[in-house]
Amino acid sequence: MKVLFITEPYIIDPLGIAYLSAALKNAGHTVMLMRVGSTYFSDVVKAKPDVLAYSVYTGRQNFYLNLNQNMRKRLASRGQHPHSIFGGSHPTFFSEIANEPFVDAVCQGEFDNFVSKTFTNVLDGNVPKHSIIRPKTNPQDLDLLPFPDRDLIYQFTENRDNPIKNIMTSRGCPFSCPYCYNSVFNEMFEGKTLRYRNIDSVIEEAESLIKNYPQTKYIFFVDDEFVGKVSRLAEFSEKWRQKVHIPFHAQLRIDLLTEEKIILLKDAGCTSITFAIETGREDKRRDLLNRQISNETIIRGSELLRKHGLKFRTENMLALPHETVKDALKTLDLNIVCKPTIGWSSLFQPYPKTALGELAIRDGLYDNKLEDIPSTFFEKTVLNISKNQKRRFENLQRLFGFICSFPFLRFLVRFLIFMPRNRFYNWIYSWHKRQKYNSLFNQNVVLTR
């Protein structure tokens, strides 16, 4: 069987596709990956795939549906009739996409250990058209998975030569934030979604990655929460320091961070951290976002990170349901107090089926039109609020990180966010983000044993 994954150009390693590819290749299938571009259709024709596979997230579903429909029609005119299989977060939560034209099957959840059998059954006609397939054993046991197929995803020079590579040591999240699809996933799979890999397996993958791709100078761990278990972190710290010994970035909940954990991270080679603040209003964070984290905890955690010389990125959401511009400015002010390396902000998106998305629908703030959700949460707010409010929130999102870095400009913000949307704000946002990311993911760090 020839399986062709089609994706858009990427910067962050698409590990989901890489894991599926490894499983398919282990089962004896041929796997290809092509990125959408000016000549890719002729390459698809030459490849003669049996299966077209798409990993889709909400906001890009229409793009991939249209691409697939166009692809299938053009291939049919050349006598080729591959099957189309959709997976990823959007089909998992919106399985009705299976009813769309030229979609042969939808995969819900994780398919690493079942992808070969599933794709073969679809190809052989053993499942009806427009099927929704969910493995009986889901989520997957991570220690049963092969290492991701990095040859596939690094076939493009810019990805292969990127000094920052991604590794996954766990899947799932112990929390159920109401704006995140992880909360829905936990319900679908009875809350048993947080799983850890064996540390020795993680170390072996890292050693193989560095050996095969010596361009690798920095690791970004993609885990939702990296420091939950002290014993696991201690084992990781000792083995990473002794055997891998290159710097890395990790993501965590600031209320789970202790000085003991910071020391373990720092000893292992961690140079930077990401954690979420989300909003500067403690009551909103607690009651609306179900995050039982006080401002005092956030400030104290930030002080600990600075004390130990760890750079950090904060994550924040603007334009929450019923949020005022005054509320959003409190989020900016709390970030200024925390002094992050980069104050990262997004615009809340009311994803249907999440608790906060459903609240926005009930309160008339969102019309429940999936096609309105943008492909990125850095672009615009889709809430039904006034044009003036939209403009202020969107301008603040562009200026947020810059003002965090230059807080003496804070007094100008109320004036600046009233300005019309403009290219200069977009330029500031892009320039500042690029500069600060270069600092956050410092690849010139020299670690001592």
In the chain, the domains with their CATH numbers are: 2-142 (3.40.50.2300), 163-440 (3.20.20.70)
Query: What pLDDT does 174 receive?
Result: 84
Q: Each residue of 131-147: pLDDT tens digit?
A: 999 887 778 889 999 99
| Angle subtended at Cα 181 by Cα 88 and Cα 438, rounded to the nearest 5 degrees | 80
Cα 131 to Cα 96: distance, rounded to the nearest angstrom: 10
Q: Is-cis flag, bond preceding 139, omega within 30?
A: yes
Cα 221 to Cα 228: distance, rounded to the nearest angstrom: 14
Query: What pLDDT does 433 receive?
Result: 95
What number is the average pLDDT over the span 117-122? 93
DSSP-based three-state secondary structure for 99? helix
Q: What are the angstrom distances between the C-alpha of 73 and each of 2, 67, 131?
A: 19, 10, 21
pLDDT for residue 443 is more than 70: no
Element (H, E) at 91: helix 89-93
Element (H, E) at 62: helix 61-76
pLDDT for residue 151 is more than 70: yes
What number is the average pLDDT over the span 53-57? 97
Distance of CA 127 to the CA centre of its chain: 31
Cβ contact 226:250 at 8 Å: yes
Cα 70 to Cα 220: distance, rounded to the nearest angstrom: 36
* Range scoring the smallest mean pLDDT among 13-27, 31-45, 194-208, 431-445: 431-445
pTM here is 0.95
pLDDT for residue 447 is more than 60: no
Give the closest residue to 228 by CA, choosing from 174, 183, 295: 174
- Paired with 315 in beta bridges are 276, 344
- Paired with 250 in beta bridges are 273
pLDDT for residue 449 is more than 50: no
Pairing mode, if any, of strands 83-87 and 105-107? parallel
* Range scoring the smallest mean pLDDT among 38-47, 248-257, 286-295, 379-388: 38-47
Query: What pLDDT does 188 receive?
Result: 82
CA 45, 49, 51, 54 dihedral sign is negative
**How many Cβ atoms are within 10 Å of 251's Cβ, its own excluded?**
18
Cα 398 to Cα 429: distance, rounded to the nearest angstrom: 5
Tokens of residue 50, six digits: 């049996």
What number is the average pLDDT over the span 423-439? 95
Mean of the per-residue pLDDT values of the chain: 94
DSSP-based three-state secondary structure for 386? coil
DSSP secondary structure string for all residues of 309-371: T-EEEEEEEES-TT--HHHHHHHHHHHHHH--SEEEEEE----TTSHHHHHHHHTTS----GG
Burial tier of 388 (Cβ tally within 10 Å: 0-12, 13-18, 19+): exposed
CA 256, 222, 299, 301 dihedral sign is positive
Percent of the chain with pLDDT over 90: 89
Q: What are the angstrom distances between the C-alpha of 28 and each of 2, 117, 150, 404?
A: 10, 12, 17, 52
Percent of the chain with pLDDT over 70: 98
- Paired with 219 in beta bridges are 165, 248
Cα 157 to Cα 55: distance, rounded to the nearest angstrom: 22
Q: Each residue of 166-213: pLDDT tens digit?
A: 999 999 888 889 999 888 888 887 766 789 999 999 999 999 999 999
What number is the average pLDDT over the span 315-326? 98
Half-sphere exposure at residue 13, Cβ-oriented, CA atoms within 13 angstroms: 26
Cβ contact 356:321 at 8 Å: yes
pLDDT for residue 445 is more than 50: no
